[in-house]
Chain A
Amino acid sequence: MAAKKSGAKTRKPVSEPQKAELVQFYRDMLLIRRFEEKAGQLYGMGLIAGFCHLYIGQEAVVVGVQSVLDPDDQVITGYRDHGHMLACGMTSRGVMAELTGREGGYARGKGGSMHMFSREKNFFGGHGIVGAQVPLGTGLAFANRYKGQDNVCVAYFGDGASNQGQVYEAFNMASLWKLPVVYVIENNQYAMGTSIARASAETELYKRGISFEIPGEEVDGMDVLAVRKAAAKAVQRAREGDGPYILEMKTYRYRGHSMSDPAKYRTREEVQEMREHHDPIEMLKKKLLDAKHVTEDDFKKIEAEVREIVNDSAQFAQDSPEPHPDELWTDVLVESR
């Protein structure tokens, strides 16, 4: 299985982000934050049901990583997926309407929070089984290689999933065949209610590839620029045919595991400390203000724009009708060739 790069196109190297990009990162993170807050509200109102896992606190990870990918690269993740979809360019309306189980949702209401996809944006889910996205994402990377394309697949998963057996089966094959995949471990410290120390014999997750010869590194997942820098290196490496790479993003979720989790397994102080001193959005905001790139007024404008998008999506998600009863029977099988 020799590396093939016949279909490779020339790609722009990832450069130091300029002012406009930094503002865009801020805006992207803020959109995820406000979107998730709204989703939490709608859940409280009974408009969103089932399991709903919010991404609040982890925004820097996906925004930083996505900033180095090209639109034809693939992304796959687990069930804490709303942020990833927004970062992939999927519409707030489509995502929110899927959360409310409406016709206007990405799966016309048949997937829900944990199972959403967009072929158009190369977002491959949205998977509800812990760790499943790791072999699946490795398979997407396999397809890139097979077709001679230089695309990279980024497979995101959590610290909980990092103890799954299938993850290591995938690591082995990815390294053996030098597949273009980057594994991003979003270590938010808690696998549902179990802290990493209580569940993992080796808590430095970037080392989990050692026995498969997959290099890894720990990254400050609360710092969007650190994330971007590490991701740029890992993605380029994979793209050039040097195989998989592990990025352990040290991050934190402010909310419970899902909406039904009161998060009694950690202290209020612990959460407060992260919010006050490590918040990814506030940190970038400070950086932009210090550099005098942006004024407080500019931020207010961005905030207003983001709120408008989120409110619009919430309205859309409530106005969109429930799927037609006939939808029950569609999409079970592909009917025509």
Chain B
Amino acid sequence: MTDILMPALSPTMEEGKLARWLVKEGDTVKPGDVIAEIETDKATMEVEAVDEGVISKLMIAAGTEGVKVNAVIAQISAGDDAPAPKTSGKNKSSAKGAEVHTRSDAKADAAGGKPDDSATEQKARNDGHRLRAPEQKVAAAEGLHDPTLPEGVTYKKTAVRDALRDAIAEEMRRDETVFLMGEEVGQYQGAYKVSRGLLEEFGDRRIIDTPITEYGFAGLGVGAAFGGLKPIVEFMTFNFAMQAIDHIINSAAKTLYMSGGQMGCPIVFRGPNGAASRVGAQHSQDYSAWYGHIPGLKVLAPYDAADAKGLLKAAIRDPNPVVFLEHELMYGIEFDVPEVEDFVLPIGKARIRREGADVTLVAHSRMVKFALDAAEDLAGHGIEAEVIDLRSLRPLDTATVIESVKKTNRIVCCEEGWRFFGVGAEIAAAVTEHAFDYLDAPPMRVAQRDVPLPYAANLEKLSLPNAQDIVAAAKKVCYREVE
């Protein structure tokens, strides 16, 4: 008897829906036969049998949602009428009962160089640093600067990707000049499914699939912005935007200045930024510091779904070029989003996610999660950490950080990117400059190790910063023993 396991169909998949069985118990299958269809948040995939045999049991009913990767979904016996081999250990299976293929084409992932891996990858997926709990609640302190929400406002659980989609859709309904362009944003429904459903609503005049030519379509988008439109340019990931960075900086960010204020460029460049999972060095880089360096740009990097929505809407309305850094590993995570009409947040304001008097933890994007986890851990050690979610890197809300440091006298700057010339370096410098007399310890930084991101699971884990790194740094600035 061989177990067929729920396969991981993308680098970030943790669960999926078993949409349909194409076989029933007692059917004979041979390698290559399609036995089931699985829906992830990104695509519908077909599962093929790898072994020859008879389907002896379907363990998961068709239509079941939330089937965890590596769960046993069916069992297959060795051959026609042959009883299950007695010799095999009860739980020991090859874990290779099935193989997966995308039903449509695998272009999006392949274009990104992302192997659409089969079941062979799934064993190596239990790395501890990845976000595990989609139910992660926002028990955050209210943002200091956000518009006051009405009494009795209700919240809707929304995944980050859907919050982004809602923001785009709302702004497109509101403003005819807003359009979305990028690779696979239309017919494919988005490489990461952020643009799901938009083509159907807005049509191909406003949801535009581009060739895989980042430099060209980024430039075209900037030209369209000069021409009076408000483009949203999606990069499949910001790694690929390096080919377009010339237009982002030289054409979009500088032209207003060079033209003496004549040539505004209202454009949003958005897409996933930072480390994904097991995709190696070229597909895992945090560009926060790169874009944060450039006058003429605004740079946003939200953490949760509410901020993603409110800030993306603000970015689309902003008359300036905005780089909007999302995070692939956050797309599927649900948060409460307030159900208010036109939820727009101010750009350039940090959010205090947790209050504390002993140490300030500053983070943005996915690192906020680790900072919150670290704060929880630290609380167990009697250290009350204040967690500041920057949300906006340019403009940077240094005032909120400095106020916090004046209270806590200690700071740990957390970022997923490299430490050298990084976001943390900037914040540490600002704090040193403006709150020097309040500091009881030198500012510390938690960042990615100074190497290209490795592929191997253990090395990747060693390279990326995590909650424990933040705990250790926080203890250090509090002059507490680090275990």
Chain A contact residues, CB within 8 Å of chain B:
1, 74, 76, 105-111, 115-119, 124-129, 132, 134-144, 146-147, 165-166, 168-170, 172-173, 176, 330-334, 337
Which residues of A sit under 8 angstroms from B220, Cβ to Cβ? Answer: 135-136, 138-139, 142, 170, 173
**Residue of B204, B210, B251 most packed against chain A (CB within 10 A):** B251
Which residues of B sit under 8 angstroms from A108, Cβ to Cβ? Answer: 260
A132-B246, A139-B221 known; A146 vs B205 contact (CB < 8 Å)? yes
- B260 near A170 with CB under 8 A, answer no
- B260 near A111 with CB under 8 A, answer yes
> Once the chains are docked, how many angstroms separate the CA of A105 from the CA of B224?
26
- B227 near A143 with CB under 8 A, answer yes
B180 an interface residue at 8 Å Cβ cutoff? no
- B260 near A142 with CB under 8 A, answer no
> Once the chains are docked, how many angstroms separate the CA of A20 from the CA of B225?
38
B263 an interface residue at 8 Å Cβ cutoff? yes
Which residues of B sit under 8 angstroms from A330, Cβ to Cβ? Answer: 261
Which residues of A sit under 8 angstroms from B210, Cβ to Cβ? Answer: 173
A119-B263, A330-B261, A332-B295 known; A74 vs B227 contact (CB < 8 Å)? yes
28 intermolecular pairs with C-beta atoms under 8 Å apart: A1-B204, A74-B227, A109-B260, A115-B259, A117-B259, A117-B260, A117-B262, A124-B263, A125-B259, A132-B246, A132-B251, A136-B219, A136-B222, A139-B219, A139-B221, A139-B223, A139-B224, A140-B227, A143-B223, A143-B226, A143-B228, A146-B224, A147-B228, A172-B216, A173-B216, A176-B211, A331-B260, A337-B319
Q: Please, which residue of chain A has its CB at the minimum distance from the CB of B394?
A: A333
Which residues of A sit under 8 angstroms from B218, Cβ to Cβ? Answer: 135
- B208 near A1 with CB under 8 A, answer yes
Given contacts A125-B258, A172-B216, 19 further A-B contacts (CB under 8 A): A106-B259, A110-B260, A116-B259, A119-B262, A128-B250, A132-B247, A136-B226, A138-B223, A140-B223, A142-B220, A142-B229, A146-B177, A147-B229, A169-B219, A173-B217, A333-B256, A333-B296, A333-B320, A334-B319
Which residues of A sit under 8 angstroms from B455, Cβ to Cβ? Answer: none
A1-B205, A331-B260, A333-B320 known; A165 vs B215 contact (CB < 8 Å)? yes
B317 an interface residue at 8 Å Cβ cutoff? yes
Which residues of A sit under 8 angstroms from B208, Cβ to Cβ? Answer: 1
> Once the chains are docked, how many angstroms separate the CA of A124 from the CA of B205?
24
B364 an interface residue at 8 Å Cβ cutoff? no
- A125 near B260 with CB under 8 A, answer no
Interface range on chain B (Cβ under 8 Å from partner): 35 or more
- B224 near A173 with CB under 8 A, answer no
Q: Please, which residue of chain A has its CB at the minimum distance from the CB of B226?
A: A124
B353 an interface residue at 8 Å Cβ cutoff? no
> Once the chains are docked, how many angstroms separate the CA of A110 from the CA of B254?
11
Which residues of B sit under 8 angstroms from A331, Cβ to Cβ? Answer: 256-257, 259-261
Q: Please, which residue of chain B has its CB at the minimum distance from the CB of A117?
A: B259
A1-B205, A107-B258, A169-B211 known; A132 vs B250 contact (CB < 8 Å)? yes
B298 an interface residue at 8 Å Cβ cutoff? yes
Say how far B228's CB is from chain A's closest CB, in angstroms.
Answer: 6
> Once the chains are docked, how many angstroms separate the CA of A74 from the CA of B246?
22
- B262 near A107 with CB under 8 A, answer yes
Q: Please, which residue of chain B has its CB at the minimum distance from the CB of A137?
A: B223
Say how far B233's CB is from chain A's closest CB, in angstroms.
Answer: 10
- A142 near B223 with CB under 8 A, answer yes
> Once the chains are docked, how many angstroms separate the CA of A132 from the CA of B226?
13
- A117 near B257 with CB under 8 A, answer no
Which residues of B sit under 8 angstroms from A141, Cβ to Cβ? Answer: 223
B255 an interface residue at 8 Å Cβ cutoff? yes
- B255 near A117 with CB under 8 A, answer yes
Which residues of B sit under 8 angstroms from A76, Cβ to Cβ? Answer: 223
B182 an interface residue at 8 Å Cβ cutoff? no
B458 an interface residue at 8 Å Cβ cutoff? no
Contact of B219 among A126, A132, A176 (CB under 8 A): A132
Q: Would you give the 0/1 interface string for B233-244, flagging 1 where the beta carbon is closer than 8 Å to chain A? A: 000000000000
- A110 near B257 with CB under 8 A, answer yes
Contact of A106 among B226, B250, B260 (CB under 8 A): B260
- B215 near A129 with CB under 8 A, answer no
> Once the chains are docked, how many angstroms separate the CA of A309 from the CA of B300?
49
> Once the chains are docked, how many angstroms separate the CA of A330 from the CA of B261?
8
Chain B, 251-299, CB within 8 A of any chain A CB: 251, 255-264, 266, 295-296, 298
> Once the chains are docked, how many angstroms separate the CA of A1 from the CA of B250?
29
Q: Would you give the 0/1 interface string for B301-330, flagging 1 where the beta carbon is closer than 8 Å to chain A? A: 000000000000000010110000000000
- B260 near A140 with CB under 8 A, answer no
> Once the chains are docked, how many angstroms separate the CA of A129 from the CA of B249?
11
**Residue of B179, B229, B256, B258 most packed against chain A (CB within 10 A):** B258
> Once the chains are docked, how many angstroms separate the CA of A128 from the CA of B251?
9
A110-B258, A128-B250, A135-B220 known; A143 vs B229 contact (CB < 8 Å)? yes
B213 an interface residue at 8 Å Cβ cutoff? yes
- B256 near A118 with CB under 8 A, answer no
> Once the chains are docked, how many angstroms separate the CA of A44 from the CA of B376?
68
> Once the chains are docked, how many angstroms separate the CA of A165 from the CA of B217?
12
Which residues of A sit under 8 angstroms from B264, Cβ to Cβ? Answer: 334
Which residues of A sit under 8 angstroms from B211, Cβ to Cβ? Answer: 169, 172-173, 176
- A333 near B298 with CB under 8 A, answer yes
- A135 near B259 with CB under 8 A, answer no
> Once the chains are docked, how many angstroms separate the CA of A127 from the CA of B246?
12
- B179 near A146 with CB under 8 A, answer yes
Which residues of A sit under 8 angstroms from B222, Cβ to Cβ? Answer: 135-136, 139
> Once the chains are docked, how many angstroms separate the CA of A150 from the CA of B220?
18
A144-B227, A170-B219 known; A117 vs B250 contact (CB < 8 Å)? no
Which residues of A sit under 8 angstroms from B226, Cβ to Cβ? Answer: 124, 136, 139-140, 143
> Once the chains are docked, how many angstroms separate the CA of A247 from the CA of B261?
32
Q: Please, which residue of chain A has its CB at the minimum distance from the CB of B214?
A: A169
Minimum-distance CB pairs A-B, first 8: A139-B223, A169-B216, A135-B219, A143-B227, A107-B260, A136-B223, A169-B213, A115-B258
> Once the chains are docked, how many angstroms separate the CA of A1 from the CA of B199?
12
Q: Please, which residue of chain A has its CB at the minimum distance from the CB of B295?
A: A332
- B219 near A143 with CB under 8 A, answer no
Q: Please, which residue of chain A has its CB at the minimum distance from the CB of B205?
A: A1
> Once the chains are docked, how many angstroms separate the CA of A176 from the CA of B225?
20
Which residues of A sit under 8 angstroms from B223, Cβ to Cβ? Answer: 76, 124, 135-143
> Once the chains are docked, how many angstroms separate the CA of A137 from the CA of B251?
12
Contact of B320 among A166, A168, A334 (CB under 8 A): A334
> Once the chains are docked, how many angstroms separate the CA of A126 from the CA of B260?
13
> Once the chains are docked, how many angstroms separate the CA of A172 from the CA of B295?
32
Which residues of B sit under 8 angstroms from A147, Cβ to Cβ? Answer: 228-229
Q: Please, which residue of chain B has its CB at the minimum distance from the CB of A114?
A: B258
Which residues of B sit under 8 angstroms from A105, Cβ to Cβ? Answer: 260
Which residues of A sit under 8 angstroms from B317, Cβ to Cβ? Answer: 337
Q: Please, which residue of chain A has its CB at the minimum distance from the CB of B261?
A: A331
> Once the chains are docked, how many angstroms separate the CA of A132 from the CA of B253?
14
Say how far B1's CB is from chain A's closest CB, in angstroms.
Answer: 53
Which residues of B sit under 8 angstroms from A166, Cβ to Cβ? Answer: 215-216, 219
A176-B211, A333-B256 known; A135 vs B216 contact (CB < 8 Å)? yes
- B216 near A111 with CB under 8 A, answer no
- A127 near B205 with CB under 8 A, answer no
Q: Would you give the 0/1 interface string for B184-223, flagging 1 where the beta carbon is closer than 8 Å to chain A? A: 0000000000000000000011001011010111111111
> Once the chains are docked, how many angstroms separate the CA of A126 from the CA of B250?
12
Which residues of B sit under 8 angstroms from A168, Cβ to Cβ? Answer: 216
